[in-house]
Structure 1
Amino acid sequence: MDNAKKRPKGPDIGLHQARRLCQLDDAERLAFIAEGLPVILRSAQGFWAAAEKLQAHSREAKVLENYADEEAAKILILVDAVRCPPKLIASRLNKIVGWFYNHLARLIYAEAVSWKPTHLAELREYVDQQRHGHYLEGHAGEYIAPNWAIYQRESLLYADVEAYQDGTLEWSAPRDPPYGHFGSFRPRALLVAEAMEQVGMFTTAGLKAVSEIWGSLEYREKEDHHDGRKLTEQLLTRLHDEGLILDTAKAEHAGTLYNEWQIPMYNLEFSLIPVSLEELEAEQEREFWSMAGDPR
């Protein structure tokens, strides 16, 4: 065992090397990301196309739909790295690229497409609510449940052993999604990613425009969608002027970016927030007395 601990680390060869984007200079990084975005998009589209063919197998179709969603979220994460202001790149890029491999971060990014926060501070609250490792469920918070996004993903995908609050162990069999598989609804994160490609963002010149325009404003607290619409308008104008918008682009693609592209999240956190049993039990007690009426 001691000898094993002293063995040198193996070479950085193979998959899971996105963190090495941090070692590239700005121009190299933009060019490399531009090369990769279509690769990720085709992967997402492939999962979705397969999901649509499995309508009779709702669980398997939903698994593929979720894969499509997470692949599209990887695009949104990388584009947020591009939107990050130059003054923040050195301090934020390594963390942002780490989200590329983090299931929770990808699930939140995909879900966040549908959120309409007032500003970044409110979006931070939404994100933080999704990061809790456990939470209370039930009429009076009587049940302790694991992080819902992760649980939903894992319980759909794997057979596993599940533990309950009272210590009971049970086998968890992968189950069909509760509402079936709605194959006619393309994942919204995928729609945003496809719109980005259509307007010319998946090119080095397109990403350079994204970086220069969105990087001019740091999203810290009160910056909002009104600011974002102005930046999106500037971006679309420049992409048009530079002849980068594809011939297949439609007005709906611009509309998707105006209405569905979430404001930048490079200043937020996406790691799981541990919640202790003591904290959960204290919250349960507060929930109980708020329902029953505190006699004290």
Structure 2
Amino acid sequence: MSEKGTKITFGGRQARALCNMSHSARLDFIAEGLPIVLQSARGFWRAAETLKERPREAAVLAGFAEEESAKALILIDLVRCPKPKVGKRIGRIVKKTLYDHLSRMIYAKAQSWLPANVAQLQEYIDHERQGHYLEGGMSEYIVPNWSLYQRESTMYADIEVHEEGIPQWNDPNRWSDSTMMMRPMALDLVEALEALGLLTRSGLQATSDVWSSVDFVNDEGPVEALELTKQLAARLDSEGLVSECATEQHARLLYNHWQLPMYNMDFDLIHVPLEQLEAERDAAFWNEVGGY
């Protein structure tokens, strides 16, 4: 006989607790956590750098560093969200985006994109969240989401099945010769935000005050973002929050690579029907051969 009772929520993955905090308490808590998240990302990256003779293992750690950095950027975007809008967005952000591998990888990758506005940024994200897509010179192959596949196949030995239906083993060490490890831009960016004083409690307050004036949901883009970034930089400087270690490179990262706020973006994996992919493949084939 089964009995129903209160679900125990002790343990990790409890970022939903942010939903029940006041705005001020939430900023306090995020300010406490951001240095911890950054230190975690740095630790993974430093460990990756020591494994030059083990490129597969180094790539796994570099991926962890990138995803940890993305966590920091997600939390900072929560701070950038206009206070009247936080209530309807925070649940998705802290329950889904913050804990989802693909969402974090897209968040990190997006820091190098240059969209014209928020609507185009969502289009870029949509391209990255396709569950499967066509690949090959004539779009002849149906392949899984590359970011997820590369993450999993680099990390784990596993059994996988491709379109022909034949099971085969994935050997994660096969990625060793093709893995090129680069320092995650997301980590560079979070370090720049730290140097400029944004990760402090006062820095987060300034970020919230300045960025709350514009809700980035559709047509808003780099023009609005640049103006708010200038206002924030001036305030961080006037309040003495910029650290002595801040450099021109940190400022360039702030101005050139801090992406538009993504608190209203959809990062969920898009499941593409097999029939749709097959139809697109047929169309690509006939377009290539000219209908003959």
TM-score normalised by the shorter chain: which range applies? over 0.9
1:62-211, aligned counterparts within 5 Å? Answer: 62-97=59-94, 98-174=96-172, 175-177=174-176, 179-182=178-181, 185-211=182-208
* Cα deviation digits, residues 124-178 of structure 1 (max 9, x gap): 1100001111101111111110011100100000011110112111011103255
Unaligned runs of 5+ in 1: none
CA distance in 2 between partners of 1:105 and 1:26 (Å): 24
CA distance in 2 between partners of 1:79 and 1:210 (Å): 8
CA distance in 2 between partners of 1:178 and 1:108 (Å): 24
1:236 maps to 233
Which amino acid in 1 is paired with 2:106? Answer: I
Task: Find the partner of 2:47 among 25, 46, 50.
Answer: 50
* Larger CA deviation: 170-179 vs 187-196: 170-179
* Cα deviation digits, residues 73-121 of structure 1 (max 9, x gap): 0001001111111221111111111211000100000111111112211
CA distance in 2 between partners of 1:190 and 1:103 (Å): 16
1:270 maps to 267
Pairwise CA distance, 1:245: 1.2
Which amino acid in 2 is paired with 1:132? Answer: Q
TM-score, structure 1 length as denominator? 0.94
Contact 2:62 2:184 survives alignment (8 Å) = yes
CA distance in 2 between partners of 1:176 and 1:131 (Å): 22
CA distance in 2 between partners of 1:293 and 1:248 (Å): 60
Contact 1:52 1:61 survives alignment (8 Å) = yes
CA distance in 2 between partners of 1:245 and 1:12 (Å): 39
1:28-39, aligned counterparts within 5 Å? Answer: 28-39=25-36
Which amino acid in 2 is paired with 1:280? Answer: L
2:279 maps to 282
Which amino acid in 2 is paired with 1:32? Answer: F
| Partner-residue secondary structure (3-state), 1:165 | coil
Pairwise CA distance, 1:186: 2.1
Contact 1:31 1:203 survives alignment (8 Å) = no
* Larger CA deviation: 31-40 vs 211-220: 211-220
TM-score, structure 2 length as denominator? 0.96
Contact 2:54 2:176 survives alignment (8 Å) = no
1:259 maps to 256
Which amino acid in 1 is paired with 2:248? Answer: A
Unaligned runs of 5+ in 2: none
1:210-249, aligned counterparts within 5 Å? Answer: 210-249=207-246
Contact 1:120 1:220 survives alignment (8 Å) = yes
* Cα deviation digits, residues 13-58 of structure 1 (max 9, x gap): 1110001100101000001000000000000000000011100110
- Aligned-CA RMSD value: 1.3
| Partner-residue secondary structure (3-state), 1:100 | helix
Deviating beyond 2 angstroms after TM superposition, the runs of 4 or more aligned structure 1 residues are 6-10, 175-182
Distance 1:86 1:148, change over 3 A: same
* Larger CA deviation: 99-108 vs 199-208: 199-208
The alignment-based identity, stated in percent, is 48
